[in-house]
């Protein structure tokens, strides 16, 4: 198994530049996996949480032909709606990271790259995990991507914990999530 990770820069100008170039980097990484004789390039699952969840969704819109499935945990389906609906105390911090959605140019860019606006391109099974009480990435982000992908007929598993926030922290929920992930992987990655 191979894990490829990504780190989010804390500067919106750099973020916007990297968000535009990151897909090319991921394509190179996915192609590299397929070229490795000791890796199964036909069984690639993309997964990530928070911004990694956003990148999971973005990669699923761009590279459905290169993956078997994707698993998003508390990821942003649309930075515009996330910024509009996130807890007020963190809104300016997130605008500094992702860009100010009130600026028409930034808003147009964020809308263009929003996975929810490109959901028809997600053609491989998707699992979406969220906490109903998430102050950073509102549950509505997960709900909208689930609705949009389901509308295309692509299999979607959705796990919403009513007693969690940004990630699962209660043992009973962590256990449930673990076994749900195992079942998702067995069905869509290992079958």
Q: Answer whether residue 100 is part of any domain.
A: yes
Q: Give me the percent of the chain exceeding a pLDDT of 90.
A: 77
Number of structural domains (the chain) is 1
Query: Does 38 participate in catalysis according to the annotation?
Result: no
Maximal C-alpha separation, the chain: 49
What pTM was computed for the model?
0.91
Residue ranges making up the domain that contains 62? 12-188
Given the residues 54, 72, 134, 142, select the one marked as catalytic.
134
Per the prediction, the chain carries an average pLDDT of 90
> pLDDT for 76-94, tens place per residue?
999 999 999 998 998 999 9
Q: What is the pLDDT of residue 14?
A: 56
Given the residues 38, 50, 103, 158, select the one marked as catalytic.
50
- 51: pLDDT confidence band, cut at 50, 70 and 90? confident
Given the residues 100, 111, 140, 166, select the one marked as catalytic.
166
> pLDDT for 7-49, tens place per residue?
555 555 555 556 666 777 888 889 999 999 999 999 999 999 9
In sequence order, the β-bridge partners of residue 95 are none
Q: Does 67 score more than 90 pLDDT?
A: yes
Average pLDDT over residues 138-150: 98
Give 3-state DSSP helix, strand, coil % of the chain, rounded to 5. 55, 15, 35
Q: What is the pLDDT of residue 24?
A: 78
CATH (domain of 53):
3.40.50.1820
Q: Answer whether residue 2 is part of any domain.
A: no
Query: Does 111 participate in catalysis according to the annotation?
Result: no
Q: Which residue has the tokens 């991507």?
A: 145
Give the length of the chain.
Answer: 191
Query: Does 166 participate in catalysis according to the annotation?
Result: yes
Q: Answer whether residue 180 is part of any domain.
A: yes
């Amino acid at each position: 198994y191979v894990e490829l990770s990504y780190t989010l820069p804390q500067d919106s100008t750099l973020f916007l530049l990297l968000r535009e170039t990151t897909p090319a980097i991921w394509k190179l990484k996915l192609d590299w996996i397929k070229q490795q004789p000791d890796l199964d390039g036909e069984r690639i699952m993309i997964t990530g949480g928070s911004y990694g969840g956003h990148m999971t969704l973005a990669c699923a819109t761009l590279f459905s032909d290169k993956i078997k499935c994707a698993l998003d945990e508390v990821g942003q389906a649309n930075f515009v709606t996330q910024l509009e609906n996130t807890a007020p105390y963190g809104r300016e911090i997130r605008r500094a990271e992702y860009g100010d959605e009130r600026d028409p140019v930034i808003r147009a860019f964020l809308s263009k790259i929003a996975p929810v606006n490109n959901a028809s391109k997600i053609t491989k099974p998707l699992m979406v995990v969220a906490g109903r009480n998430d102050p950073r990435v509102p549950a509505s982000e997960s709900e909208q991507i689930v609705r949009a992908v389901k509308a295309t007929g692509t299999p979607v598993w959705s796990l919403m914990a009513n007693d969690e926030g940004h990630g699962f922290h209660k043992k009973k929920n962590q256990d449930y999530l673990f076994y749900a992930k195992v079942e998702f992987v067995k069905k869509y990655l290992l079958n």
